[in-house]
Structure 1
Amino acid sequence: MLIRRKPLDDDDENPDRWLVSYADFITLLFAFFVVMYSISSVNQGKYNELMSSMGTAFTGDGGAGHLKTNGSLNPNIKSKPQNQAGSLIKPLPLTYLYSEKMRREREAMTKMGIDLSNKLSPLINDGKVRVMQNNRGIRIDINDSLLFTPGSAELAAAASTVLSEIAPMIKDNDRLIQVEGHTDNIAIHNDLFYSNWELSAVRASSVVRMLSDTGVAESRLSALGFGSTQPITENNTELGRAKNRRVSIMILYESPNQKEAALEITPQTIAK
């Protein structure tokens, strides 16, 4: 005997089943707006109004308007008027412009380094001079034997020959020039120099004075003494110590007209 199956009753369905269709609809609607956004240009004025309205709707207090200006909104800054169709030409970001400026400056520095290297090639081939480029600028390392007699900060007669080759190539631009004195690790202590600090600083100052005499603007020049703290090789051998005794002429990326951003720190009471 066959038992007839009871027909399904629509009333037994899950009353929340409509949520599935609603979720599908919302998903399709979201996809539609994503596609429309991807093929359209953004009108900044309307975008700001939309964000402000959404912030008001969701927070009740115009929350979107409290966002700062680091890529988002600020109610105190009015957007510039734009045409109805929007602009397809986007302004170049500041990071790109800065990168382009740095690239051009680095290329100009590289050219200067090549010119200096070609000019000083005989001394470079003899191991007396090195020309290098780093993240600060162009560095010219000159062995102290070309500039000074041992233990002295007075420029030797041969020093003018070397510096007269360098000065004309660096005096016509506006880059800052930092002259650095370096020594080996053998201590010095006499009536003229208490330590290698004094010797390196005075040697750097002597080179600065000669560069100034050749026409390099004094506002671009500075002198630093590093003593034996920045060797370029080991001090275990006489050859290594001779390489560490040097004067470095740094042609920096900075120029005198670049003002340094500074914030004065005033005395403050720390709450306990």
Structure 2
Amino acid sequence: MKKIFLLMLMSGLVLTSCVSKKQYAELEAKQKKTQDLLNTATVKLNACEADKAAANATIAALEKRVADLKQDKDDLIKSSKDLTMLTKQGATNLEKSLESLKEKDLKISRLQDALNKKDSVTLALVTSLKKEVGLNDQDIQINVEKGVVFISLSDKVLFKSGSYELSNRANEILGKVATVINSKPDFEALVEGHTDNVPYRSGVLLDNWDLSAKRATAVVRKLKELGANPAQLIAAGRGEYVPLVPNTTAENKSTNRRTKIYVLPKIDQFYSMIEEELETLSKEGK
């Protein structure tokens, strides 16, 4: 009987030991699952905390921006009050400035019209000279220099070599020039003599300057003789001091020996035309 009791007691202990291990395994599995859930929740909590911090920073920045905008609004309100007081005066000043600009633009336009008129006259004068004098000779050039019409004549066309005595051909050419000058009573003819740099001294002439001036006066006298109004004629000598090309060859020296006849509007009349335009503007009250 005692043996049977001991046997039953040992069997109970064995069964009790088996049940405890199974429960332990289940509990261990539950504990692991709970720990995983806790870890996941911790990660989410940390993320939420970070989002909260970022949201708080954004809210603080927005609140500062709102405060700045309110301050800007207050400043603008104050500025608008100040500007309101100056608006009428500012508008008046702006209107005056615009009127002044319009007046200046109109004056410039009128002056430009005067210059355009002068350019038209210049073009007509060039056409007239080319038609009258002709361009079939390489020793005769008709051109415009700085808005002024001129005829350039080689010395061999007008003068004998080394002399200020006019050639026979000069009568023909200068007669045509005189005709053009007579057709332009509001213009003047400036005759300008030029030489090369070869020293010149003959009789009463001291140098090339004397020779160039003497040639210019000879042309002026001939133009007068051919019917040009002497009040429109001017004589000038430039000597060797305004060469077209260096005086290094015989050909270049020949180029520099020339007589230029400028046909130009009278300066005083040109300025009178400008003054008339300005006076017209003043009378119109513009």
For this structure pair, what is the TM-score category when the shorter chain's length is used for normalisation?
A: 0.5 to 0.7
Q: Which residue of 2 aligns with 1:237?
A: 249
Q: Select which of 196, 205, 208 maps to 2:208.
A: 196
SS at match of 1:95: helix
Deviations 1:2-44 (A, max 9, x none): 99999x99xx978775431145568999xxxxxxxxxxxxxxx
Name the amino acid aligned to 1:47.
T
Q: Which residue of 2 aligns with 1:19?
A: 71
Q: Select which of 126, 133, 139 maps to 1:128.
A: 139
What's the CA shift for 1:192?
2.8
Matching of residue 93 in structure 1 with residue 106 in structure 2? yes
Name the amino acid aligned to 1:140.
I
Q: Select which of 86, 107, 110 maps to 2:120.
A: 107
Name the amino acid aligned to 1:220.
Q
> 1:77-92 maps to which residues of 2 (within 5 A)?
none
> 1:1-272 maps to which residues of 2 (within 5 A)?
18-22=70-74, 47=92, 71=100, 93-121=106-134, 124-173=135-184, 174-255=186-267, 257=269
Q: In structure 2, how many angstroms separate the alpha carbons of the residues matched to 1:105 and 1:219? A: 21
What's the CA shift for 1:190?
2.2
Q: Structure 2 vs 1, CA of residues 25 and 160 (structure 1 numbering), >3 Å: closer, same or farther?
A: farther
What's the CA shift for 1:50?
8.2
Larger Rg: 2
Q: In structure 2, how many angstroms separate the alpha carbons of the residues matched to 1:106 and 1:50? A: 36
Tell me if the contact between 2:122 and 2:147 (Cα under 8 Å) persists in the aligned partners.
no
What's the CA shift for 1:48?
5.8
RMSD: 3.8
Tell me if the contact between 1:175 and 1:256 (Cα under 8 Å) persists in the aligned partners.
no
Q: In structure 1, how many angstroms separate the alpha carbons of the residues matched to 2:95 and 2:264? A: 48
What's the CA shift for 1:131?
0.5
Q: Structure 2 vs 1, CA of residues 48 and 227 (structure 1 numbering), >3 Å: closer, same or farther?
A: same
Q: In structure 1, how many angstroms separate the alpha carbons of the residues matched to 2:95 and 2:158? A: 70
Q: Structure 2 vs 1, CA of residues 177 and 15 (structure 1 numbering), >3 Å: closer, same or farther?
A: same
What's the CA shift for 1:202?
0.9
Tell me if the contact between 1:200 and 1:227 (Cα under 8 Å) persists in the aligned partners.
yes
Q: In structure 2, how many angstroms separate the alpha carbons of the residues matched to 1:19 and 1:218? A: 84
SS at match of 1:141: strand
Q: Percent identity?
A: 24
Q: In structure 1, how many angstroms separate the alpha carbons of the residues matched to 2:149 and 2:107? A: 26
Q: Structure 2 vs 1, CA of residues 216 and 23 (structure 1 numbering), >3 Å: closer, same or farther?
A: farther
Q: Structure 2 vs 1, CA of residues 27 and 180 (structure 1 numbering), >3 Å: closer, same or farther?
A: farther
Q: In structure 2, how many angstroms separate the alpha carbons of the residues matched to 1:48 and 1:24? A: 23
Q: Structure 2 vs 1, CA of residues 105 and 194 (structure 1 numbering), >3 Å: closer, same or farther?
A: same
Deviations 1:219-265 (A, max 9, x none): 222111101111122322222211211110001133554579xxxxx
Q: Structure 2 vs 1, CA of residues 236 and 259 (structure 1 numbering), >3 Å: closer, same or farther?
A: same
- Give TM-score, length-normalised by structure 1: 0.63
Tell me if the contact between 2:193 and 2:259 (Cα under 8 Å) persists in the aligned partners.
yes
Q: How many pairs align? A: 206
What's the CA shift for 1:148?
1.1
Q: In structure 2, how many angstroms separate the alpha carbons of the residues matched to 1:131 and 1:109? A: 12
Q: In structure 2, how many angstroms separate the alpha carbons of the residues matched to 1:242 and 1:94? A: 47
What's the CA shift for 1:195?
0.5
SS at match of 2:190: strand
Q: In structure 1, how many angstroms separate the alpha carbons of the residues matched to 2:249 and 2:188? A: 34
Structure with more helix by fraction: 2
